[in-house]
Amino acid sequence: MQSRTLLIASFFFILLLPLFSAENVVFEFPSFTLRNLTLLGDSHLREGVIGLTRELGVPTSSSGTVIYNYPIAFFDQETNVTASFSTRFSFSVDNVNPASFGDGLTFFISPNNQTLGSSGGYLGLVNSSQLTKNRFVAIEFDTKMDLHFNDPDENHVGLDIDSLISIKTANPMLWGIDMKSGNLINAWIDYKNGDKKLEVFLSYSSTKPVSPLLMVDIDLSEYLKEAMFVGFSASTEGSTELHYVDNWSFRTIGLHVARPRIAHNVSDATVPVRQPIPVSESGNRHHKKVGLGLGIAGPSFFCVGMLIFGFISVRRWRRMKSENHLKVELVTGPRQFSYKEIRVATKGFHPSRIIGTGGFGTVYKGFFMEIGSLSAVKRSKHTHEGKTEFMAELTVIAGLRHKNLVQLQGWCVEKGELLLIYEFMPNGSLDNLLHQSSEERDSLKWPYRYNIAIGLASVLTYLHQECEQQVIHRDIKTSNVLLDGSFNARLGDFGLARLMDHDKSPVSTLTAGTMGYLAPEYLQYGKATENTDVYSYGVVILELACGRRPIEREQDGRKMVNLVDWVWNLYYEGKILEAVDARLEGEFNEDEMRKLLLLGLSCANPDSASRPCMRRVFQILKNEAEPMTVPKVKPFLTFNSLLSIDDIVSDGEGRGSFGEARESFGEEMTSAVIDFDDEGSHSPQFEIKVL
């Protein structure tokens, strides 16, 4: 049926071509109907909004296009003038699963009113089997980095002409705009034929920005023919990404000054008039009975209501007292947000906004109109432990300032909720880039990896030696290393951090952290020092170099392999470079790689006294100090006391099942291997030998 309609439309278009006049065109769609639009592929209309791809809760491949029905003149043969044009529309890119992204949408101008391309990186604009078939001028809003088309990153805007290899691109994140946020984004595209210049503007606000996001000096006159069609396309491939266009206006400028041949406003402004509801009459006797009943029941209802009101008031007073008491404890630095602001920013804490979970609670992506930026909202559990971690994190990080720290923007204590608001990190966690979906995503390139190691060393030097009070993080791991838009390392999650005076000795506490990153002496004595952070840092940079988790199961699934032991064995055999991540495909600096691997072993030395301080680590990475000598054989460490399983249970994300270990080795062990499940992602292991 759809193909028959297109055939008829094409037939009439050919008949009308001789009558086609080059006049300025204006149209506007405050909302959409099917009257003036053609939907192709998986595109659909729902409640006045155009959806370009399938709305499914499971990953799928989809492609869709919407095209304005009528041809538009961009060139006047009589005057030999090419039109300028201006368009404005609002779009959003949402996702039921924030980890499933790609591929994006486009606004296009094409001589073909049946433009429909393939799914995936082809953006619904190009046919994968006939790459040069479709002709177009398009602005792409790309949400996936596809190396096949030389994409610079997974959040960019680009100008495409007859090819998806963009002539020029720009990153909206530099303007504080994340196209995958799910928020409504306003776009303006202006082409001025006189200046031979195309400009693209983006904003969360309805006010057009002063400066363009993308500006290209280009003459489009050879591509804009007499009759062209305008529309939108989008695609996904194995993703749950959704693409919507909410409104659209378009106009051409510079042709015949005439009454616009096409002027459509398709919004339905009719308002139904509600008819008055007839009220049936009743006798006086009925009214008297009702009045008597109310007279008897009224006082009873009043008493019950007062009791309920009193109960609710007391509960509210107690909760407010608790919240006010907590607020008195908080520092005055970061801003206090209202609970209402946070609910609006996170769409009522909608599941589609979840970007992380852990023992502390849940992290949501939020957009705050007042500050005009995306944020990460950390929603802690309001338990005694949750309050303790909340207070620890806020107290510690509020007074810290470093370029490699995640910036705290504010907090909120209302409705029984403990909420921290951080700046949003568009490239997620280092753990995600190194390990999750590694087959589908491009490997993190070596210059980024080395720079991450330097940035993390810099911020740990600051925490350990440059703050007024020394800060021991206690939970250094790749999932707590976040990456900004330029892949710079930002250390976050200070829920387990502790403040210490520089001249004070560490105090024994309950061992906390994540198995695989914990120093042996910390597991034994429970004393967190800067050396225990150094050990965790060493494991992290070995992950960076090798692309392996701290504890991994061998391919046959029978044995767990400790990363530190594995690299040290290769070093002993003189083959340390065989530990390098194969996904780098040999594209790395050999001297830097060797330095990073040996530095990782130095930091992860079982003998804490042999580990370097973070300042020395930073100087070695910056070539300001000589590398340390690493023994060929890993030092063997022993403890002279019995160790209980309960002493090494993590109170962070490392909680897991150890029933089998308890059954096999008993409550106290001379040699034990504890196998933690860590939320199903991997199975960390730490071997402790006790004499």
**Residues known to be catalytic:** 475
Query: DSSP secondary-structure letter at 69?
Result: S
Most distant CA atoms of the chain, gap in Å: 105
For residues 223 and 191, give the distance between their C-alpha atoms in angstroms, rounded to a whole number. Answer: 13
For residues 72 and 85, give the distance between their C-alpha atoms in angstroms, rounded to a whole number. Answer: 11
Strand partners, 54: none
Backbone CA torsion sign across 619, 625, 631, 635: negative
Q: Return the structure tokens found at 368.
A: 């705050």
Strand partners, 472: 498
For residues 464 and 470, give the distance between their C-alpha atoms in angstroms, rounded to a whole number. Answer: 5
SS3 691: coil
Helices within 517-639 (DSSP H only): 520-525, 530-546, 563-572, 590-603, 614-621
For residues 616 and 457, give the distance between their C-alpha atoms in angstroms, rounded to a whole number. Answer: 9
Provide CB contacts within 8 A for 330, sequence distance 6+.
Answer: 391, 394, 411, 413
End-to-end CA distance of the chain: 81
For residues 432 and 481, give the distance between their C-alpha atoms in angstroms, rounded to a whole number. Answer: 10
For residues 515 and 638, give the distance between their C-alpha atoms in angstroms, rounded to a whole number. Answer: 19
Provide CB contacts within 8 A for 570, sequence distance 6+.
Answer: 576, 578, 579
Q: How many helices (H) and strands (E) does the chain have?
A: 12, 34
Taking a C-beta distance cutoff of 8 angstroms, is the pair 238, 60 a contact? yes
Going by C-alpha positions, the residue among 103, 73, 76, 107 that lies closest to residue 90 is 107
Provide CB contacts within 8 A for 403, sequence distance 6+.
Answer: 455, 458, 459, 488
Going by C-alpha positions, the residue among 7, 347, 369 that lies closest to residue 176 is 369
Characterize the bridge pairing of strands 408-414 and 335-336: parallel
Q: Tell me: is residue 378 an annotated ligand-binding position.
A: yes
- Side-chain-side CA neighbours of residue 312 (13 Å): 6
- CA 459 to the chain's CA centroid: 23
**Burial class of residue 325 (count of CB atoms within 10 Å of its CB; 0-12, 13-18, 19+):** exposed
Burial 41-73 (b: 16+ CB within 10 A, else e): bbbeeeeeebbbbbeeeeebbbbbbbbbbbbbb
Helix H or strand E encompassing 228: strand 227-239
Taking a C-beta distance cutoff of 8 angstroms, is the pair 526, 511 a contact? yes
CA angle 440-442-447, nearest 5°? 160
Helices within 173-283 (DSSP H only): none
Phi-psi region of 474 (alpha: psi -120 to 50; beta: other; left: phi over 0): left
For residues 583 and 441, give the distance between their C-alpha atoms in angstroms, rounded to a whole number. Answer: 11
SS3 237: strand
Determine the angle formed by the axes of helices 530-546 and 446-461, rounding to 10 degrees.
180
Binding-site members are 378
